[in-house]
Structure 1
Amino acid sequence: MAWCIADSIVKGEIDNRTRDRVTGKIWILGSDEPVELELTGNPHRDLAGQYLRFVNPKPKPLPESMQDGFAVEQTGVVGDMTAARKVKILDIPDGELEHYYRNKIPMPYHWGNCLYLEWHSARNGRVVIEATDYELTVEPEAAWRMSKDEEQSQHEANAHAMTDFMDTILEAATDGEARTSDEDDDAPQSQAEAEADAEAARMDLLNDRIQARLEKDPEANIDDYRRILEEERERLRRERNEPDPEPLSPEEEAARIEAMHDAMARTLAEEDDLDCETHPLVEQCEELAMTTSDEIELNEWLPENAHGEHPLHELMHGLWSAGAKLAGGLNGDPGDWPPEPLFAGDALVRLKKARGYLADAQAALQAVETEKLIDHPEWIGSLKKGLLAIHRETQGYIDELRDVLRDDDENELPF
């Protein structure tokens, strides 16, 4: 899983005026000293040779779960870095997101540029800064120019950086170096969990590439999607120097189809909650999200022009997002829990993401209380208990899935 720190950045600078080297400093709200970057590689062509400065107009503190783990010295390799990524930007206030979501109303949007800075560090793994509202400044002249051929080579090098990072995760898990003392630690605790995290990172990269190509052709249809999917899969395989895939046996093909069907069912459960039995914890989280949103709206606690980073907005976003991820990991036939090792890794990735959203909601609620945004201590106390109960139960399911994957590791040992 990536460290996503964009919301908490005050300002920063990225310097690629020396080829094959990216240095920089990033100031995070509440930190006494800046994060320093020392990375190998180059950004995309639009930032190659440039000195970029950026300012976040509305920084907010790091979530409590991230405050102690982010290293001040970020040494590693460049991933994808560009200020020209096209993304969908919603044309509705954050306060109306719940209304659109609940009523399944199509959300209006426009295409805009997004600053996307990704790197892979020895201390924190994958780090991503993704923002559409930063104020950007670049020097009038680049120190050097990147050709189109060099850009293609750089894209392949960036992809190798990602896959090399995955290999590092796997080696760390194999050597038994994964940390287990912190309940909220996302570090893999078994070879199988490391492989699930690596596969999730691989799919994130694959989906980013597919999305970038689809955005260039708004008229693309399902056949175009399938073609692009296969092309990007093949591209990633070549970049990793993986051998040509061998034909599957009938048993392997059956297992592959079953896995595809299960993944599709989980995606539907996460996005639409269709055709799956809703898990009690999902119902509990969604009910808490709904009652919390209703209470905030009924009492008019949100100022009329509250920005998207307002703690009450963050509280609601964390609750709704946690419910969606819990649905993807838990909904289905209760008799199938815990799932087989083939599916346990996917469920674990989703539940760890849900736990992260719950931590965000808890941090937002703490900010509501600390900043005295509302004067209802009983309501805050009750919500704290509700969040903590869901968090603890989510952690329990995470532990069960980790046990499944550990057992699977042990069963594969050759002695």
Structure 2
Amino acid sequence: MSDKFPEHATRQKAFAFACKAKYVLRVSLAARLCFVIVIIMDILLNNPVSHGYLSNEVPHHIRGRLWVIGCSEPVIVELRGNFLRDIAGCRISFFNPFPEPSLEDTLAMHSHQTGTAGEMSASRRVSQLWQRSCRPSHPCFVFDNSTLKNMLLLEWFNPQGQRVLIRACHWQVGVSDRRWELTEAQEMAHIRATRIQRRQFLLTREGR
């Protein structure tokens, strides 16, 4: 009996291998595409953060912890940069009375957040339109009809190509004594640099 496979069997094996190779290639490309989609995005933490703190008591350094619904350990935050003038040199603590899980944002976020600080302020004045856009959907939340209100704004850009955002008008915020002061010129330079980085992020996200 010959040890050689019949020609038709060889062709069948070759065809099966080619199909398998094509399938692996498709899966690989799909996985890479999903990776890009997940990475280049906004991470919105208005709802899933239950409480936390950030400190800018050392110039050009922001350190802190965020406790996020769905995460067993707090998210570590270590950023380069400063808060804006209203809270520069301070440690801020915050509490979200109506936390809600956000599986999409939680899964896409790395548990150790590093990168560059964007605009970070506890006194961004916003209209009712902005207040409504960042309010929680919790049934116990009562909307405040104030015309203008202070919004907590925390923004940073991480090495994964993500822009992380917290915009909240209903959180309880505490601010410590100031350790040092940011000058107006330094603040304006920081805002300009943030706008450039934000524009680059948006262009990358849109694939231009």
TM-score of the superposition, structure 1-length normalised?
A: 0.35
Alignment partner, residue 17 of structure 1: 57
Alignment partner, residue 189 of structure 2: 153
Deviations 1:319-378 (A, max 9, x none): xxxxxxxxxxxxxxxxxxxxxxxxxxxxxxxxxxxxxxxxxxxxxxxxxxxxxxxxxxxx
**1:161 positional shift:** 3.2
Alignment partner, residue 77 of structure 1: 116
Is 1:129 equivalent to 2:166 in the alignment? Answer: yes
Deviations 1:222-253 (A, max 9, x none): xxxxxxxxxxxxxxxxxxxxxxxxxxxxxxxx
Hey, which of these two has a bigger chunk of strand by percent? Answer: 2
Q: Structure 1 stretches of 5 or more lacking a match?
A: 96-107, 170-187, 196-415
**1:117 positional shift:** 0.4
Correspondence list, 1:13-412, <5 A: 13-62=53-102, 64-89=103-128, 110-123=147-160, 125-139=162-176, 141-165=177-201, 169=204, 193-195=206-208
Give the aligned CA root-mean-square deviation in angstroms: 2.6
Paired residues of 1:78 and 1:161 also in contact (CA < 8 A) = no
Alignment partner, residue 253 of structure 1: none
Paired residues of 2:50 and 2:99 also in contact (CA < 8 A) = yes
> What SS class does the counterpart of residue 110 from structure 1 fall into?
coil
**What is the rounded CA distance, in whole Å, between the counterparts of 2:116 and 2:96 in structure 1?**
24
**What is the rounded CA distance, in whole Å, between the counterparts of 2:100 and 2:161 in structure 1?**
21
Say if 1:67 and 1:146 are closer, same or farther in 2 by CA, change over 3 A.
Answer: closer
Paired residues of 2:114 and 2:159 also in contact (CA < 8 A) = yes
Deviations 1:45-64 (A, max 9, x none): 011111000000110111x3
Deviations 1:101-153 (A, max 9, x none): xxxxxxx65110000000001125111100001111111x2110112222212
> What SS class does the counterpart of residue 86 from structure 2 fall into?
coil
> What SS class does the counterpart of residue 60 from structure 1 fall into?
coil
**What is the rounded CA distance, in whole Å, between the counterparts of 2:79 and 2:124 in structure 1?**
21
Whose radius of gyration is greater, 1 or 2? Answer: 2
Equivalent AA in structure 1 for residue 65 of structure 2: K
Hey, which of these two has a bigger chunk of helix by percent? Answer: 1
Alignment partner, residue 25 of structure 2: none
Alignment partner, residue 6 of structure 1: 46
> What SS class does the counterpart of residue 86 from structure 1 fall into?
strand
**What is the rounded CA distance, in whole Å, between the counterparts of 1:126 and 1:76 in structure 2?**
10
**What is the rounded CA distance, in whole Å, between the counterparts of 1:143 and 1:194 in structure 2?**
42
Alignment partner, residue 356 of structure 1: none
> What SS class does the counterpart of residue 126 from structure 2 fall into?
strand
**1:164 positional shift:** 4.9
**What is the rounded CA distance, in whole Å, between the counterparts of 2:136 and 2:160 in structure 1?**
34
Paired residues of 2:44 and 2:105 also in contact (CA < 8 A) = no
Deviations 1:240-276 (A, max 9, x none): xxxxxxxxxxxxxxxxxxxxxxxxxxxxxxxxxxxxx
> What SS class does the counterpart of residue 154 from structure 1 fall into?
helix
**What is the rounded CA distance, in whole Å, between the counterparts of 1:68 and 1:135 in structure 2?**
26
**1:17 positional shift:** 0.7
Q: Structure 2 stretches of 5 or more lacking a match?
A: 1-40, 138-144
Paired residues of 1:77 and 1:161 also in contact (CA < 8 A) = no
Say if 1:61 and 1:18 are closer, same or farther in 2 by CA, change over 3 A.
Answer: same
Deviations 1:257-309 (A, max 9, x none): xxxxxxxxxxxxxxxxxxxxxxxxxxxxxxxxxxxxxxxxxxxxxxxxxxxxx
Identity of aligned residues (%): 29
TM-score of the superposition, structure 2-length normalised?
A: 0.68
